[in-house]
């Protein structure tokens, strides 16, 4: 993971930056930079900030400007406007819970890596038909979990996934052991009480534990 390209999403697959991508919901923009620094210090440089809060784009901008070792992206991207605004704010990758042709074209035209969300075989095949081989599998546990992904790897070995949804420290290793999983997304290294208390040392410790879950290289 510690290659010279690790901090440049455009030079490597998004799925290879780190075994775990923290999925961050930021309610107070002043938390963005210390939170990102704690995650990076713990070995998780790829940070997905979801566009579920009013300050999300400001948080992306703050992290992009002040935490150079972070590879910050925007999640829950649903519209072409959000694609544009996210990249303008400094997002270096985009993640959506699902996709349409309109959204896919906007993400493709953004100039940054993207992970469109899928939960069915037909959606995976449709993306492969459009030349997209890396995708988010969401909601992972609800949509069939590791058994479902294992079943996909036979007929569709060229598809690689970042499963997100219902994944924690206990089941992440099972996902990461699958040949078609590059990384997982999760929130377990960001417990609500730690964020509320601004206990960044605890976040860094949990991030460090998460960074060691993947296959050691």
Q: How big, in percent rounded to 5, are the helix, strand and coil portions of the chain?
A: 40, 15, 45
Catalytic residue of the set 48, 134, 150, 205: 48
Task: Based on the residue annotation, tell me whether 204 is a catalytic residue of this protein.
Answer: no
Task: Based on the residue annotation, tell me whether 65 is a catalytic residue of this protein.
Answer: no
C-alpha to C-alpha distance for 203 and 190, rounded to whole angstroms? 6
Output the furthest CA–CA distance in the chain (Å, rounded): 47
C-alpha separations of 100 from 3, 4, 104, 136, 184 in Å: 34, 35, 6, 14, 23
Catalytic residue of the set 65, 129, 136, 150: 136
- Label residues 43-82 b or e (16+ Cβ within 10 Å = b): bbbbbbbbbebebbbebbbbbbeebeebbbbbbbbeeeeb
Q: Is the peptide bond before 139 cis (omega within 30 degrees of 0)?
A: yes
Q: Which residues contact 40 (CB under 8 A, 6 or more apart)?
A: 47, 67, 69, 70
Q: How many residues does the chain have?
A: 217
Catalytic residues, by residue number, are 48, 136
């Amino acid at each position: 993971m510690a290659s010279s390209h690790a901090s440049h999403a455009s030079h490597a697959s998004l799925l290879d930056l780190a075994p775990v991508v923290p999925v961050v919901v930021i309610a107070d923009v002043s938390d963005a930079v210390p939170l990102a620094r704690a995650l990076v210090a713990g070995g998780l440089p790829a940070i997905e900030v979801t566009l579920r809060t009013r300050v999300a784009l400001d948080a992306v901008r703050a992290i992009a400007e002040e935490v150079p070792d972070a590879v910050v992206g925007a999640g829950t991207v649903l519209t072409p406007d959000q694609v544009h605004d996210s990249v303008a704010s400094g997002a270096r990758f985009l993640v959506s819970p699902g996709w349409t042709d309109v959204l896919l074209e906007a993400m493709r035209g953004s100039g940054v890596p993207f992970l469109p969300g899928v939960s069915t075989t037909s959606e995976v095949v449709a993306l492969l038909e459009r030349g997209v081989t890396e995708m988010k599998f969401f909601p992972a546990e609800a949509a069939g979990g590791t058994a479902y992904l294992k079943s996909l790897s036979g007929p569709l070995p060229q598809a690689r996934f970042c499963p997100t949804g219902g994944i924690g420290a206990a089941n992440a290793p099972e996902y990461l052991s699958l040949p078609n999983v590059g990384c997982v997304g999760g929130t377990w290294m960001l417990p609500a009480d730690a964020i509320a208390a601004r206990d960044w040392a605890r976040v860094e410790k949990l991030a460090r534990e998460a960074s060691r879950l993947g296959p050691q290289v």
